[in-house]
Amino acid sequence: MEESGKFTFQIEMNNRYTYVEDAELTLQINSGDHRAFEELFHRYKERLYRHAYRMIPDNEICNDIIQDVFIAIWTKHKTFVVKTSVTAYLTQAVKYRILDHISHQKVVERYLEEIHDFDKNGRCYTEESVLVRELIALIENEKSELPPRTKEIFEMNREQHLSYKEIGQMLHISEKTAKKQVHNALRYLRTKLTTLLCSFFILLF
């Protein structure tokens, strides 16, 4: 069911769950039925993708979020309960994860920008100036863990303020590749920075 850290869903001909109602599928999922789970995924994945893409038009992020929603369902399949409709439940789950992603993205970008400005000009606009000073070294350390090419592209975009097009022209890569590398870096740093911020706030309060 799981391959290289990601779920793979096998489509079988004449799936006996194709015409089963959503409510019955959830009961089968509760009992650990993989086929019922796969049917639910295939039944809603395209609809959820369209919904997600309207909120955040990024193919990779949308697919990741939808996959995360279904992984969460399967992880807790024994207690998976839908009090409204499956459509409403899944749509809300995707919406909340997208809002969470956007919120974390803004936190990361805010602190990265302020840390860069503080490191360069000695200015800090947040109340947590001590926190920012402490985070400078930590973020730089996390950035050093990025693949060299990803780190280079990320710094060109976020610190030198070059567009994806400009980066592509300078490095002889496509705009899409430049954007993907920045996305990968932000996803990595978002995870690391969220953990660091939680740790610091626990210590502060």
pTM (global) more than 0.85 = no
Topology annotation, domain 12-100: Rna Polymerase Sigma Factor; Chain: A (1.10.1740)
DSSP element (H, E) containing 6: strand 6-7
- For residues 157, 162, 165, 170, the Cα torsion angle rounded to the nearest 10 degrees is -100
User: What are the structural domain ranges in the chain?
Assistant: 12-100, 126-204
Q: Tell me the β-bridge partners of 7.
A: 2
* Tens digits of pLDDT across the chain (205 residues): 444 444 544 444 345 777 889 889 899 999 999 888 989 999 999 999 998 888 888 888 888 889 889 998 998 888 888 888 999 999 999 988 887 777 666 656 655 665 555 545 544 444 445 555 555 666 677 778 888 899 899 888 877 888 889 999 999 999 989 988 888 887 787 776 666 555 544 444 4
Query: Which residues, in sequence order, are bridge partners of residue 2?
Result: 7
The C-alpha atoms of residue 83 and residue 159 are separated, in whole angstroms, by 47
Fold entry, domain 126-204:
Arc Repressor Mutant, subunit A (1.10.10)
Confirm whether 12-100 and 126-204 share one CATH topology.
no
